[in-house]
Amino acid sequence: MSLFWRVVLMNAGLLIAAVVVLVVSPASISATPTQAEVEVLLGGTALVIGLNVLLLRRIFTPLARLTGTMRRVEPLDPGRRVRISKPAAEVAELARAFNDMLDRLEAERQGSARRALAAQEGERLRVARELHDQVGQTLTGVVLALEEIHRRAPDDLQEEIGEVQEAARAGVEQVREIARGLRPGALEELGLRSALTTLANSFAGLRVRHSLAGGLPVLSPDQDLAVYRVAQESLTNVARHAHAANARVELGEEDGVVVLRVSDDGCGIPPLFADATDGGVGGMRERALLAGGRLHVRALPERGTEVRLDLWPSH
């Protein structure tokens, strides 16, 4: 039976019941109602209204639950669906349509995000190759040319040419560091643990300790990249914003889940940024979601911040 007719019949039933009670009961109303008669009428009216509210609430409660689920839907926390037991036909159809819409939106969003991340990684790879193969080689040629000039230069120019030569060498190293940051070659060649070790040792001015367990469940290449990028973004944020002296990178397993933790002893993170859905934290959440995991960011009890990535290995 449709929701409309259920409401109509319910109200009609209450009215009929009230009429039957008035007919069969000895109660009557005088031309000038007495106080007792008024009290009986008011009491009966209140009873009918109360029963009406009680019965209608059972019908419309599923709609309230549906509305609540709609409000709680979070793009970075997919999988939430409407669950209603014994709803009216219209409410059940509305819930199914809403769940189907969420399925389509989440599938489209994940597909779009995967394409965007793939394009981003492709662009990083292209820029890293150009920096390494073109800019790096050019600067290396400049260093070699300066060495030859330095060898032949008069004594009064030796010091100046040496300074230029050192600046060129520093430029070569900077280009190589940028290229390594854009394309984690160690991840492709040596694996995740070696890549994280290299990453932890690459932050000057920040002491990064690491504890990387062996024998972990095998992750897919996309999941390995997600772990590396989350660690990289987290350590970069620590170095730039946390005013920390120490950081720690931990990779392990908990109940079949691969867990990455990056913590520091810095100034902590405000709740507004910890729950952010855009910017650096939002990007990490998006990457974690597409890799089949969850990202949690929290301020530590004493001081500092912890970024935790949980990944379920794909089979």
Average pLDDT over residues 85-99: 78
* pLDDT at residue 63, as a whole number: 77
259 band by pLDDT with thresholds 50, 70 and 90: very high
> Are 226 and 125 found together in one domain?
no
Query: Is-above-0.85 flag for pTM?
Result: no
Convert the pLDDT of each residue in 164-183 to its tens digit: 778 887 887 777 777 766 77
* pLDDT at residue 4, as a whole number: 57
Please state which of the ranges 29-38, 249-258, 297-306 shows the lowest mean pLDDT.
29-38
Highest mean pLDDT out of 51-65, 68-82, 127-141, 254-268: 254-268
> Are 196 and 164 found together in one domain?
no
Does the residue 94 lie in any domain?
yes
| DSSP bridge partners of 259 | 252, 310
Average pLDDT over residues 201-229: 88
274 band by pLDDT with thresholds 50, 70 and 90: low
Instruction: Answer yes or no: is pLDDT of 262 > 90.
Output: yes
CATH number for the domain harbouring residue 202: 3.30.565.10
> Are 252 and 302 found together in one domain?
yes
* pLDDT at residue 161, as a whole number: 75
Q: Is 255 left (phi over 0), alpha (psi -120 to 50) or beta?
A: left
| Average pLDDT, rounded, for the chain | 79
Instruction: Answer yes or no: is pLDDT of 309 > 90.
Output: yes
* pLDDT at residue 244, as a whole number: 92
Per the structure, the count of domains in the chain is: 3
Does the residue 112 lie in any domain?
no
Among residues 143, 163, 182, which one ends one of the domains? 182
Quote the domain boundaries for residue 307: 190-311
3-state secondary structure string across the chain: CCHHHHHHHHHHHHHHHHHHHHHHCCCCCCCCCCHHHHHHHHHHHHHHHHHHHHHHHHHHHHHHHHHHHHHHCECCECCCCCCCCCCCHHHHHHHHHHHHHHHHHHHHHHHHHHHHHHHHHHHHHHHHHHHHHHHHHHHHHHHHHHHHHHHHCCHHHHHHHHHHHHHHHHHHHHHHHHHHHHCCHHHHHHCHHHHHHHHHCCCCCCEEEEEECCCCCCCCHHHHHHHHHHHHHHHHHHHHHHCCCEEEEEEEEECCEEEEEEEECCCCCCHHHHCCCCHHHHHHHHHHHHCCEEEEEEECCCCCEEEEEEECCCC
> Are 215 and 306 found together in one domain?
yes
More confident residue, 266 or 153: 266
More confident residue, 71 or 265: 265
> Are 217 and 306 found together in one domain?
yes
Tokens of 126: 């292209």
Does the residue 80 lie in any domain?
no
Please state which of the ranges 184-193, 236-245, 246-255 shows the lowest mean pLDDT.
184-193
